[in-house]
Amino acid sequence: MPRRTTPTEARVELTWPGKVAPPAVPVAVEPLVVRERVGEPDAWADRLVWGDNSHALAALHAELGAAVDLVYIDPPFDVGTSHYLRKGEVEVLAYCDTWGGPAYLSMLYPRLSLLRALMKPSATIVVHVGIQVCHHVRVVMDEVFGADNFINQVAWKRYSAHNDASQGARRLGAVHDVLLFYGMSQTRTWTTLRAPYDKDYVAKWYRHVEPGTGRRFMSSPLTAPGGAAKGNPNYEFLGVPRFWRYGQATMEALHSSGRVYQSRPGAVPRQKHYLDEQEGVPLQDVWADIRALQGTHVERVGYDTQKPEALLERIVHMCSRPGDLVLDAFSGSGTTAAVAARCGRRWVAIDRSQPAFTVSRRRLRALTRSGEAGPFVVLDAAPAMRRGLVERVDEAELRRRVLALHGATAWSEGQLLGATRWSEGQPSGATTCSEGQLDGATTWPEGQLHGAATSSEGQLHGRRGEAAVVVAAPEERPTAADIAGWLGAARAAGAAALEVIAWTFDPSAHDVDAPAVTLWEIPRAFAEGEEARPTRAPRLSLVVEATPAGRTIRITNYAAVDSDGNWAQLGVDALVEWALDDRGDAAVFAPRWSTQRGRDGVMPLVSQAIAGEGRVVIEAVDVAGRISTRAID
């Protein structure tokens, strides 16, 4: 083992521009919001968290304290490129890995501290990193977890060869990743695992093959060195007189069970040891028996950096026990959660990427349907992030930023309340509002536009071209009724169209079937500090069909922004999953039925029959990970 520093020696510490020491205790944040329940959870519910992991980890600490038995994280490797979700010809950005040295460490350092606060004294953390950053990350891990708690640096050999060392390259091929193992203490949970013998060892020692069974075996002497001086018995066995290791009865029992090998009559008998009965060699710190996923692997979901389940199974079995809690704060395609569920562990998985979230949820829903995983809840960090943003920046400033990113200008006073024209370039067809009424809308009290009182005192907020723009308040979920009211106000003010921008819409909003209305969503990344422009909300088209068993729902079309950025009817082939909740009055989506596109490309487009006449909420996910909701009353 490499030499370790001790608590009495000077500590080696890594510094970098922008390094800030994290607080000793995680700062309390707002709790996560339950977005969905899959199945019927018991006292404990496994958790898939959608949102920035720094907020999610702090919220989980406030709820759970130090409850985690195993942490596995596979953070970005700072390789200066982006990674994608690929399905057929569709390629969607999953996450950018372009941090650049100090920014990368400034991202990882506080998250390691948050993870440490969540870990039990017997817990282990495994950090999966690339060779570009492993040396820096290990020094940071020494600082956060203590150099004395270093366990191993494992080289995982992903490939047998790599084309980055092709002819003319002035470097060696990079074929391995690094797994850094740290414990919280010397009493950590640990199970020694064994690996199969390599083929050269087998060829050398297990060179015999048993006729009839094909079992490989090696042999060892049955004779006893030392003979009579050591009290070994002397007798004739299979025609050979010798001093033997065992008494005659034991030798006969070995022979009758087929455990004695005699190469020829008269040769000294030896004992058989079958290869398939051996435990194997204890695992070392080079793992070369698990390969990276290739296109032919059944478990592939198209996520660039997806890791093989066999790798996670090894870590989970080695560092935890059944019933333990496993946490992955960079969940990606959901492999850690899937493996933990199959291995009888509880789990928490976190990721902020929408493609990662939808892939993980689809994978875990399928496992729950098949009985391989239990119920789980989906928690959302976005509402708390939005509230935090509003506390830092007032709503008026947020609205101004959203309008600017949308390419809209602010609505002026002259364009509100009885406006007969747009200033400078008015569209034709504008009419005068008489005595406080809007054409096509009811009277609004004290200068407020009907249906818009919850959105910044009822104002139309901006204009873009010939369209009026409304920006919903952060906590507002515009309904069909809200949008109908805003549309009447916009038309009365002379606008040819209405654009509504919201953080999230009520499912009924998509029932507004007016070509003049477009719905736009504020990206979740905006609440996390990115200058992200509003994106056109996708639209799901449905029909309800009556059957003797009840209503069924058929998906008939799907529209969204295509790869060129144009709004288009993409059709049902663009969808990869859909689900429905026939208890649609609840604030939490609880799918009673769900389906997804199989490997053969087929997905049912008609739901099971739904009894009763209550509200049904339908949610569909397209190949790009976009989520579309509808409601049927």
Helix (H) or strand (E) holding 328: strand 325-328
Distance separating alpha carbons of residues 103 and 100, to the nearest angstrom: 6
pLDDT over threshold 60, residue 263: yes
Q: CA–CA separation, 588 vs 234, rounded Å? A: 80
The 10s digit of each residue's pLDDT in 391-412 is 899 889 999 999 999 999 998 7
| pLDDT-wise least confident of 16-25, 514-523, 578-587 | 578-587
Q: What is the pLDDT of residue 165?
A: 61
The pLDDT of residue 11 is 77
Is residue 254 within a helix (H) or strand (E), and if so which, with residue range?
helix 248-256
CA 488 – CA 31 distance, rounded (Å): 38
Phi, psi of 153 (to 5 degrees): -115, 110
Rounded CA separation 51/618 (Å): 22
Q: Residues, the chain, total?
A: 633
Q: Quick one: which of 390, 434, 275, 362 has its CA closest to 623?
A: 362
Evaluated on CA atoms 38, 39, 41, 44, the torsion sign reads negative
Q: Identify the band that residue 162 occupies on the pLDDT scale cut at 50, 70 and 90.
A: low
User: Which has more pLDDT, 415 or 291?
Assistant: 291
Backbone angles phi, psi at 501, to 5 degrees: -115, 130
Statement: residue 417 has pLDDT above 50 = no
Which residues span the domain enclosing 556?
Answer: 539-632
Instruction: Say yes or no: 527 and 465 in one domain.
Output: yes
**For residue 442, pLDDT beyond 50:** no
Task: Tell me the C-alpha to C-alpha distance, in Å, between residue 514 and each of 67, 453, 462, 511.
Answer: 51, 22, 20, 9
Residue 99 confidence (pLDDT): 85
Pseudo-torsion of CA 604, 359, 84, 174, nearest 10°? Answer: -120
Note whether residue 13 is domain-resident: no
Q: What are the two backbone dihedrals, phi and then psi, of residue 339, each rounded to the nearest 5 degrees? A: -70, -45
> 24 in a domain, yes or no?
no
CA dihedral 441, 442, 445, 451 (to 10 degrees): -60
Give the per-residue pLDDT at 169: 74
* Predicted local confidence at residue 456, as pLDDT: 41
Residue 444 pLDDT greater than 70, yes or no: no
The answer to whether residues 55 and 166 belong to one domain is: yes
**pLDDT score at 96:** 87
Provide DSSP, 366-418: HHHHHTSS--EEEEESHHHHHHHHHHHS-HHHHHHHHHHHHT-EEPPGGGSSS
Identify the pLDDT of residue 521. 97
CATH number for the domain that contains residue 63: 3.40.50.150
**Which of 536, 568, 603 is the last residue in one of the domains?**
536
Q: Is residue 178 part of a domain?
A: yes
Share of the chain above pLDDT 90, in %: 71
Range of lowest pLDDT (93-97, 122-126, 415-419, 529-533): 415-419
Q: Is 41 or 497 the better-scoring residue by pLDDT?
A: 497
Residues 463 and 330 in one domain: no
Q: Domain check: are 251 and 106 in the same one?
A: no
Judge if 111 and 232 occupy the same domain: no
**Alpha-carbon gap, residue 291 to 289, rounded angstroms:** 6
Residues 124 and 153 in one domain: yes
Same domain, 177 and 299: yes
| Domains: count for the chain | 4
**Angle 490-495-500 (CA atoms, 0-180°, nearest 5)?**
55
In this structure, the answer to whether residues 160 and 207 fall within a common structural domain is no
| Residue 265 CB neighbour total at 10 angstroms | 8
Q: Tell me the residue type at 329.
A: A
The 616-622 sheet, strands edge to edge: 593-596, 575-581, 616-622, 627-632
Please report the pLDDT score of residue 426 as a whole number. Answer: 38
Taking residues 22-34, what's their average pLDDT?
A: 90
| Residue type, position 166, single letter | S
Same domain, 471 and 572: no
Give the mean pLDDT of the chain.
Answer: 88
pLDDT digits (tens, 9 = 90+) for 80-120: 888 888 877 678 888 888 888 899 999 999 999 999 999 99
The 10s digit of each residue's pLDDT in 51-65 is: 999 999 999 999 999
pLDDT at 437 over 50: no
- Which pLDDT value is given to residue 413? 53
Sign of CA dihedral 236, 239, 242, 244: negative
Quick check: 559 pLDDT over 80?
A: yes
Q: Are residues 171 and 317 in the same domain?
A: yes
User: Is residue 423 over pLDDT 50?
Assistant: no
Instruction: Give 124-149 pLDDT, tens digit per residue.
Output: 999 999 999 999 999 999 999 999 99
Predicted pLDDT of residue 378: 97
**pLDDT for the residue 3:** 54
pLDDT reported for residue 41:
79
Describe the crossing of helices 395-406 and 382-392 by its angle, rounded to 10 degrees: 110
Mean pLDDT over 267-285 rounds to 95
Cα angle, residue 73 at apex, residues 156 and 622 outer, rounded to 5°: 105
Final residue belonging to a domain, choices 361, 385, 409: 385
> Are both 153 and 299 inside the same structural domain?
yes
Structure tokens at 326: 């496993």
Distance CA(328)–CA(345), nearest Å, equals 13
Mean predicted confidence (pLDDT) in 226-234 = 91
> How large a percentage of the chain has pLDDT more than 70?
89
* Euclidean distance between CA atoms 200 and 197, whole angstroms: 8
Span 447-482, pLDDT tens digits: 333 333 334 444 799 999 999 999 999 989 999 999
Residue 53 lies in a domain: yes
| Among the ranges given (49-63, 479-493, 558-572, 580-594), the one the predictor scored with the smallest mean pLDDT | 580-594
In order, the DSSP letters of 294-326 are: -TT-TT--SBTTPPPHHHHHHHHHHH--TT-EE
Distances (CA, A) of 599 to 184, 302, 303: 42, 12, 15
Final residue of a domain: which of 220, 249, 277?
Answer: 277
* CA nearest to 334, candidates 313, 309, 297: 309
For 288-294, what is the mean pLDDT?
90
Is residue 427 predicted with pLDDT exceeding 80? no
pLDDT for residue 6: 55
Let me know whether 137 and 56 are in one domain.
yes
pLDDT of residue 440: 35
CA dihedral (291, 294, 296, 301) positive or negative: positive
Structural domain includes residue 214: yes
The residue-averaged pLDDT of 517-523 equals 96
Q: What is the mean pLDDT of residues 220-234?
A: 93
